[in-house]
A and B are shown apart, each in its own frame.
Chain A
Amino acid sequence: MSASAIAPSVHSLWTTAAPATEKFPTPHIEYAQLSPTLIVFGVAALGVLVEAFLPRKSRYTAQVGLAVVGLAAAFAAIVALAEKGYGTTKAHIAAMGAVAVDGPALFLQGTILLVALVAVFTFAERRLDPKAHGRHVDSFAAQGSAVPGGDQERAAVRAGFTTTEVFPLLMFAVGGMLIFPAANDLLTLFVALEVFSLPLYILCALARRNRLMSQESAVKYFLLGAFSSAFLLFGIALLYGYAGTVSYSGIASVIDGTAKTTPALASSTQNDALLLIGLAMVTVGLLFKVGAVPFHMWTPDVYQGAPTPVTGFMAAATKVAAFGALLRLLYVVLPGMRWDWRPVMWGVAIVTMVIGAVIAVTQTDVKRLLAYSSIAHAGFILAGVIAIDKSGVSSVLFYLAAYSFVTLGAFAVVTLVRDAGGEATHLSRWAGLGRRSPLVAAVFAVFLLAFAGIPLTSGFAGKFAVFKAAAQGGAMPLVIVGVISSAIAAFFYIRVIVLMFFSEPKADGPSVAVPSPLTSTAIAVGVAVTVVLGLAPQYFLDLADKAGVFVR
C-alpha cells in the first residue's frame, strides 16, 4: 500500500488496472495471542502422528494424555491472556485482521476448552460396554471404514481394534470452534466453520452400536451442513460484492457510510439488496449451526444417531461457538443494520422457542427429547442476542457457559443407563429408575431442573439473565413468549423426573452401568457447575459482564 502512495502519479495514468510495484505484505502473526488455538491444532497434528507411528496398544493412553494436556495447556494460555488484559483493555485484532482477541472471544474459547476437556473424559470411557473378546471397548466403532455387519467389521472387533482417531478429530473440531467465535473476517469464519464441521460429521458416524443409524445421521448432518455452508458462502459473496471487503470492520464502516468509497464500488454500495440478501444468508448459515427453527430439522436425527459422548460434546460446544460467531456478526458487522435484522430475528426466536418446546412434549426417546430441548434453548439464547447491548452479550455468554455443562452432564448420564442392546434411550425404559439407582436418577433430575430453569440451578440464573437483557432491550413480547415456552418445557422435564421417581420399575428394565472415574468426573463437574452457577452466579455474571465488549 505504501508502494502505491509513493508511485508517481504519471505512471498511474498508464496502468490503472494493476500497480506493478504492489508487494505482498509479509503476514504479521501474533503467536502468543493465538497460542490457545495453535496449541490445540499442534496437539491435533501430533495425534495424527501418534496414529501413524505408535503401536495400537499404546495409542489410547497416548491420545487421551495428549488431548488432556493440550486442552489444559490451551486453557492455561487463555487464562494467561485474560490476566494480561487482552479480554478488556488490551483487546485487539490479531493475524492481519483475521482473528479477534477480546473479551467475548476469550470467554467463549475458555468455555469451549473446558467443555472439550470434560468431553474427552466421556470419549475415553471404556467401562460401560461389556468386554468384547477380552478387551475394554468404548462408544466408538472398532473400525470406522468397515461395512456395518460385514466380515471386515467382525474381524476388527475380534482383533480388538478401537478408533483412537476420535481424539485428533475432536481436537481439530475444537481448534475450529476456537477460531469460529473469534473470526474477524468472513473468510476466516467460513474456514473455521468447515474445520470444525468436517470432524464432527465423521465423529457422528462412529457409533459402536446402532451403526446404521449412526451413519445415517452423519450423512444427513453432512448433506444439510453442506447445504447451509453453501448459503453462508453465497451470503459472504454477496456481502463482498456490496462492501468490497470481507473484513468485519470494513463492512461495518461501509454500512455506516464512513468508509472511503472507490469509484469501482460506488455502484454496489448503493445497492442495499446485495447487503440485505447477503446478511440474511450469512445469518441463515449460522442459525443452522445453532439449531434455530426452521433450520433445526437435523438436530433430533443427528443427536439421536451420533455416539452419545459426541452428541454431548456437539450439543454443548457447537452451540457455544456458533452463538459466539452470531454475536460477533450482529454486534460488530451489522449494528447499523439492526432495524433490518431485529424483526426477523424476533420471529426466528419466537418460532424456535415455541416449536422446540411444543414438539418436545410428545418425544419418547431421551436423546431426541434433549435435542428438542436444545432447540428451545437456542430460542432463549436468541432472545438475549436480540437485546443488542452489553448486557445482552454478557447474558448470552453466561447462558452458554451454564447450558453447555448441563448438556454435557445430561448426555453423560444417558450413557450410563443401559440394557443388552447398549444405551436404553427409550423413555419408557427409564420408568422407576429412581428406585433402582437413586443417585444417577437424582443427578439427572438436577440437570433436568437446570434445563427447566428452576431456581438454585444454573439454568435459572442464565434464563433470568437473558430475559432481563431482552426486556431491557425492549423485547418484552419475546420475554413473554419465552416464559410461556419455558412453562411448556418444564412439563416434559418434570415428566421425566416423575417417570424416574414415581413409577414402578420394570422387571426387565435397564441397569445402570458403573462408570470409571472418567465419566464420573464428567458428571460430577456438570453437577458442580450447575449448582455453583445456580447458588452463586454473581461472580460469573461479573466475569461475563467484564468480557462483554467486542473489539472492532
Chain B
Amino acid sequence: METLIGLLVAAPLLGAAVLLIGGRRLDRSGHLLGTLLALVSFAFAVVLFADMLGKSADHRTLTSTLFTWVPVESFQAQVGFQLDQLSMTFVLLITGVGSLIHIYSIGYMEHDENRRKFFGFLNLFLAAMLLLVLADNYFLLYAGWEGVGLASYLLIGFWQHKPSAATAAKKAFLVNRVGDIGLSVAIMLMFTTFGSFTFADVLPAAAKAGSAQHATITGIGFMLLLAACGKSAQVPLQSWLGDAMEGPTPVSALIHAATMVTAGVYLITRSGAIFNAAPDAQVAVVTVGAVTLLFGAIVGCAKDDIKKALAGSTMSQIGYMIMAAGLGPIGYVFAIMHLVTHGFFKAGLFLGAGSVMHGMNDEVDMRRYGGLRKFMPITFVTFGLGYLAIIGFPGLSGFFSKDKIIEAAFAKGGTEGWILGGCAMLGAAITAFYMTRVMLMTFFGEKRWVPDAEGHEPHPHESPSVMTIPMIILAFGSVFAGGLFSLNSRFVHWLEPVTGYSEGDSPVSTGAVTAGTLVLLVVGVGIAWLMYGRRPVPAVAPRGSLLTRAARRDLLQDDFNHVVLVRGGEHLTRSLVYLDHSLVDGVVNGTAASVGGLSGRLRKLQNGYVRSYAVSMLGGTAVVVAATLLMRAV
C-alpha cells in the first residue's frame, strides 16, 4: 500500500514528462494519455481510500519514505509521504475533480493547437498538488507549493499570445512569490527552533513548547498565514485571482476554484498545532478570513464578466474556510468540509460557465447573455444545482457546510464570536444576491446576444457529452455531498483523529442560526430578483454607485498596490540607482579603467620578437635563481 502513495504522484508526473518532452508527435493522442494517467491516479486513490476505511480510526496513517533529498548534516530533507485522513480527503478531491476536468478539457480544448501541452501542464499540476498534500514535511510541501505555482503560471498564461493573459500570469506569479517567501521563512524558523521540519517533529514540539518559544511560534504562524494568503488569494494578496481568469476555463475550475487556491486552507489546518499554540496568529487568520469573505462577495456583485464574478465568489468562499480554520479545533473540520463541497459546486459552476462560453463564441460578458436556459438545458440544470448549493439552499451541499462554519463562528464566543458570526451571515446574504444575479443574467430574461469581433452571430448550443457528463457528475456532488458528510457527523468522525475537534460553546442555538441564514438568503435572492429578474438587464452597465464602481475595480486593490507598492518601489529603486551611478559605479569604473590602462601598457611587452621573449625568460630565470638564493641567505 505504501508504494501506491508514490505511484499516486508518479502517474501524473510521468504524464507531464511524456507530454512535454514527447513533442508534436503526441499531438493526436496526448490528451487521451493525460486523461488516462489522471484516472489511474484516481484509481490508486480509491484503492488507498478503501484500504484506509478498513482500518480503525487511529491506525489509518500510512507513511512512506523514498529517499533523502537534501542531506546536509542535521538538515535532512526526505522525500517522504504521509497519507492520513486529511491528505486522503484532498487526494480524492484532487484526483477525482481533476480527472473530471481532464475529461471536460478534451472537449473544451478540442480546437486548440496546443492541446497536448495543455494536458501536460494539467498533469504537472496534479503531480505537484498531490506532492503538496502528501508530503510528510514542510520542505517537500514547499516543493509541491512551488510546483502548483509554476503550473498555475503556465496555465494562466496558456494563451500567451494575448498580452492580457501574459500579464495576468506574471501578476499571479509575482503576488504568489510574496506569499512563498512567508512559507520559506516559516520553514527556516521551524528548523532553527525545532531542528527539523517534518510534521512528526514540528507539530508535537509546537504543542508542547514553553513560553520562551511562544514569540517564535507566533512568528511561524504569521509567516504561514502570509503563505496561505498568497496561494489562496486572501486579502491583502488577493489581487491576482481575478486576472487569473485569463486562463482557459477548465484551469479556472480546477486550479483557481477547486484545488490549488485551497492549499492555504490545507496549510493552516495541517499546521493546526502551531496555530493552537499561537492565539495572536489565530486572530490574524480569522480577521483575514472574515475580511476576505466580504471583500470577495462585494467584488462578485459588481462584475459583468461571468468568470470574474465566480472568481470573486471563490475568494469569498475561501474566506469562509480560512476563517473556520482560524477558529481552531471548532473549525478545522468544517473548513475542510466546506472545501470539499465547494470543490464540487464551484468546479461545476466554472465548467458550466465554460460550457456557456463554448456556445457563445467565447463571450464572457453576462450583459450579452440572457435566455440561455432553453438553448443549453443540461448546462442550465447543472449550473442551477451548483447555484443552489453555493447559496446554501436547504438540503444541498453548501447548506450543510456553510451553516456549520457560521455556527462555529458564533461558537468562538464573546464579542469576537458575534462579529465573526455576523460577517459570515452577511456574507451568506451577499452570496445569495450575486449568485442569483449571475443566474438571472445568464439563463433568464431577454436575449442580449451580439456578434463577436469577426461578425459571427452566436448560435448557442448544448456542449458535447464529453463536457456535459463531468458537469452532471459534479452536480451530483453539489447536491448530495453535504448531506452525506453531515449524516451522523460522519465527516467530523473521519477527520477528528487528525485535526482534533471540539464543540465550542455557542451563544446562539443551531436552529436560530439556520433560520437567520435562511431569512438572509431569501432577502439576497429577492433583491437580486428585483434588480435583475423583474427589470430588463441593460446591455451597457449603468454608472452605478460609488461602491459599485469601486467593486468593479476590485475594490481598488490594484490602485492601492500601484500607489503604495509600485510608486514606493519606484522611488526606492530610483534613489538606489542614483547611489549606484554616483558612488558604486564611480569606484567600479575607476578600478576598471585603471585595470584597462595597465592592461594596455603590459600588452606592449608582447611585441612578437623572439629575442625579447628570450630576454624576458633569461631575466625571469635570473630573478628566480637570485630569489631562491636570497631566501636561503635571510
Contact = CB atoms under 8 A, between A and B. Distances in A.
A16 interface: no
B629 A276 contact: yes
A393 B298 CA distance: 71
Interface stretch (B24-32, B106-114, B526-534, B603-611): B603-611
Interface of B: 592, 595-596, 598-600, 602-603, 605-606, 608, 610, 612-614, 616-617, 619-621, 623-625, 627-629, 631-632
**6 A-B pairs closest in CB distance:** A294-B620, A297-B613, A361-B599, A280-B625, A362-B599, A280-B628
Contact of A231 (B592, B595, B621): B621
Nearest to B608: A301
Interface in A330-375: 339-341, 343-344, 347-348, 355, 358-363
Given A227-B614, A347-B627, A359 B632 contact: no
B612 A343 contact: no
B620 A340 contact: no
A287 B613 CA distance: 14
A297 B627 contact: no
B630 to A, nearest CB: 9
Interface residues of A, number: 40
Given A224-B610, A294-B617, A295-B620, A362 B632 contact: no
Interface string A270-307: 00110011011101100010000111011011000000
Given A224-B613, A297-B617, A359 B603 contact: yes
Contact of A359 (B592, B606, B627): B606
A276 B625 CA distance: 7
Q: Which residue, of A224, A288, A344, A355, has the highest number of chain B Cβ atoms within 10 A?
A: A344
A266 interface: no
Contacts of A220: 610, 613
Contacts of A347: 627
Nearest to B619: A294
Contacts of A293: 620
B596 to A, nearest CB: 6
B104 to A, nearest CB: 39
A277 B608 contact: no
A355 B606 CA distance: 12
Nearest to B634: A343
Contact of B616 (A219, A294, A491): A294
A162 interface: no
Given A284-B624, A358-B598, A344 B631 contact: yes
Where chain A touches its partner, the secondary structure class is: helix
A288 B617 contact: yes
A157 to B, nearest CB: 28
A224 B632 contact: no
A163 interface: no
29 contacts: A219-B610, A220-B610, A220-B613, A224-B613, A227-B617, A231-B617, A231-B621, A273-B629, A276-B632, A280-B624, A281-B625, A284-B624, A294-B617, A294-B619, A295-B617, A297-B616, A339-B631, A344-B627, A347-B627, A348-B624, A355-B602, A358-B595, A359-B599, A360-B599, A361-B595, A361-B599, A362-B599, A363-B603, A488-B595
Contacts of A122: none
Contacts of B610: 219-220, 223-224
Contact of A340 (B599, B612, B628): B628
Contacts of B624: 280, 283-284, 344, 348
Contacts of B617: 224, 227-228, 231, 284, 288, 294-295, 297
Interface in A485-530: 488, 491
A277 B625 contact: yes
Interface in A236-295: 272-273, 276-277, 279-281, 283-284, 288, 293-295
A228 B610 CA distance: 13
Given A272-B632, A276-B625, 14 more contacts: A224-B610, A224-B614, A227-B617, A273-B629, A276-B632, A288-B617, A294-B619, A297-B605, A340-B631, A344-B627, A344-B631, A358-B598, A359-B603, A362-B600
A496 to B, nearest CB: 16
B586 to A, nearest CB: 17
Contacts of B620: 284, 293-295
Contacts of B606: 297, 300-301, 359
Contacts of A360: 599
Contacts of B619: 294
A247 to B, nearest CB: 22
A362 B631 contact: no
A279 B599 contact: no
Q: Which residue, of A295, A297, A348, A361, has the highest number of chain B Cβ atoms within 10 A?
A: A297
A300 B605 CA distance: 12
A223 B627 CA distance: 26
A344 B622 CA distance: 12
Q: Which residue, of B608, B612, B627, has the highest number of chain A Cβ atoms within 10 A?
A: B627
Contacts of B612: 297
A454 B616 CA distance: 34
A341 B600 CA distance: 32
A130 B287 CA distance: 75
Given A228-B617, A294-B617, A301-B608, A358 B628 contact: no
A280 B632 contact: no
B331 to A, nearest CB: 46
A277 B614 contact: no
B613 A281 contact: no
Contact of A281 (B592, B602, B608, B621): B621
A181 B617 CA distance: 23
Contacts of B592: 491
A344 B628 contact: yes
A425 to B, nearest CB: 16
Given A224-B613, A297-B616, A358-B595, A343 B631 contact: yes
B625 A362 contact: no
Contacts of A488: 595
A399 B623 CA distance: 28
B595 to A, nearest CB: 6
A432 B483 CA distance: 67
A215 to B, nearest CB: 13
Contacts of A297: 605-606, 612-613, 616-617
Contacts of A344: 624, 627-628, 631
Contacts of B603: 359, 362-363
Contacts of B613: 220, 224, 297-298
A365 B605 CA distance: 17
A223 B614 contact: yes
A92 to B, nearest CB: 32
Contacts of B595: 358, 361, 488, 491
Contacts of A363: 603
Contacts of B616: 294-295, 297
Interface in A9-35: none
Nearest to A234: B621
Interface string A198-229: 00000000000000000000011001100110
A341 B616 CA distance: 21
A153 to B, nearest CB: 25
B456 to A, nearest CB: 41
Nearest to B627: A344
Contacts of A348: 624
A362 B598 CA distance: 10
A274 to B, nearest CB: 11
A111 B393 CA distance: 77
Nearest to B592: A491
A207 B624 CA distance: 36
Contacts of B605: 297
Contacts of A355: 602
A228 B605 CA distance: 19
B71 to A, nearest CB: 12
A224 B612 CA distance: 11
Nearest to B596: A361
Contact of B596 (A279, A298, A362): A362
B629 A358 contact: no
